[in-house]
Structure 1
Amino acid sequence: MDDIPSDAPTHCPGTQSEAAGKASACQGCPNQNICATQPKGPDPAIEEIRERLLSVRHKIVVLSGKGGVGKSTFSAHLAYGLAAANEDCQVGLLDTDICGPSIPRIMGAEGEQVHQSGSGWSPVYVSDNLAIMSIGFLLSSLSDAVIWRGPRKNGIIKQFLKDVDWGDLDYLIIDTPPGTSDEHLSIVQYLSAAEIDGAIIITTPQEVSLQDVRKEVAFCRKVDLPIIGIVENMSGFICPHCTTESQIFPPTTGGAEKMCSDLSLPFLGKLPLDPRIGKACDEGKSFLEEAPDSPAAKVFQAIMAVIQKRTEEEKMKEDFVQR
């Protein structure tokens, strides 16, 4: 698997080649400088990460083609939901959005500190069975800006995967920034030997969002990242008082469900918009606990159940093949 972007030149030599960033095909590629300067050959950290994550049963990446579609909110509530459903289920949530780390606020953990021990960085626990890690815990102020180029962002992602002592986890949810750039390539490369379950892609119904999701799907297919399914977020607005549903973002081209049908992808469901979701995130609380009877919470629980079933079925297949 070459960790190259979907818009790489036709004759791209690949990042592990000695000609990476130097071949004639590399001229004009936006990744030319990164490919030319990074070390060649397999990164030794890949094996270290594999060993570190041997105690993690399921590894799920949450992606979105466009920002503002609710990806971090979904990641946080997937972690909330999995941990709340079974107190014996150990869940970790890793925030790899280096420039916009919102997970600490959503999880009610702003101002917490990360501690280091002989076994690595200790994640921040928001409950007995739910731990999180984010660069937000390493900043001196909530208003600090992370002004880093790609290599430094990739370096901290490598550290998060290699040095965080998660212990035994049933699920590790990895929240990513929007797009298909450095951070995503790094995550896929570093997890290439760690038996990642796959990606959940978040979109909204309108075509402007679906366009970017198609690029995200192309990225996943190019780097051999399995797609667990697509979630259509903000799919209608449900009034919390009368439960009447209105279309805020009309699905002018059929929405995510039609796109999944066209691309032969699993469709996980439509999550309606509820203003209490934003309120819960701002207050660092779980919407699933704050409004468990809301239509949005019920749909989310159904989507979570499908994710659990599919990842467990795939894991059982892998375990059978390995025997």
Structure 2
Amino acid sequence: MDNSTNSTQIVSFILAAYGNLGHLKYLYFTIIFLSYITIVVANTGLIVVIYVERTLHEPMYVFLCSLFVNELYGSTAIFTCLLSQMLSDTHEVPFIYCFLQLFCLYTYAIAEYSNLAVMAYDRYVSICYPLQYHVIMTSGRVCVLLLLVWAYSVILFTVPYSLTVRLRFCGNLINKVYCDIHVIHTLSCSVSTANNVYILVVAVASVIVPLIPLSFSYIKVFTVCLKTSKETKQKAVSTCMPHIVAVTNFAMGCFFEMCQSLFDMNHLSGTMRVILSAYLVVCQPLLSPIVYGLNLSKIRDVGKSFLQNKK
């Protein structure tokens, strides 16, 4: 189908970013499959460790569990498509599956960012108000924050998603390795002003709302660190560093995603387009369990003892 095709004939989309991978598709399939297995094992393993070890039943680790669950959710939604498309010659995705993937991908991204913002607030309370930490971060407040993270991602994306599903399409070529709402809008025969406004509001809200507590928390943390002893600074840095790495990596993934949506990437090789498209949903779920599992001594020590007891 081309872009002149009547909207009533659109029953699937073609993911053109894969291009003609040739025999390399088997290599890429193996790499992606191993990456997915690593993501599942690493994130599930850390969730189990935190769940079974009572000393880790603290707000910080509860928020980490939420982060790991979200990464399993997001990576599963995209990896099933990546693996099937790597071995496909047509790279065709059914209409219904494309929109299901769209919902999972964007709710994953919003929940990830919101979860990171809540974790930043938790670190702010821990460092700036250590004596009142357990009074402020009660189990009830932790539950409310987690509920807000997940509800916010679903509610925020529901309206633009429901409007996008109703669009009529005159084309089906998506120049990415998964379905993208911006590209889908460009394929529409007619997009209403209301739809564009909702998409803009969601884009701004999904960035600005979590950015406020994230920025506020770290400004306060850095302000406190400047006034404290060297030992306190080192402790604060060691506690916050995994989170800063995760936020930076997520921001890079979002930047690559934005570039792919807004700019023409046809001049790039197929391999580079696949890497840029998949960075957000591959590198973030891979990196988070590594930086948290290796840098947080409490998780590292519990994980070691858990493995030794299994032998």
TM-score (norm 2): 0.28
Q: Work out which structure has the larger RCO, using CA pairs closer than 8 Å and 6 or more positions apart in sequence.
A: 2
Structure number with bigger Rg: 2
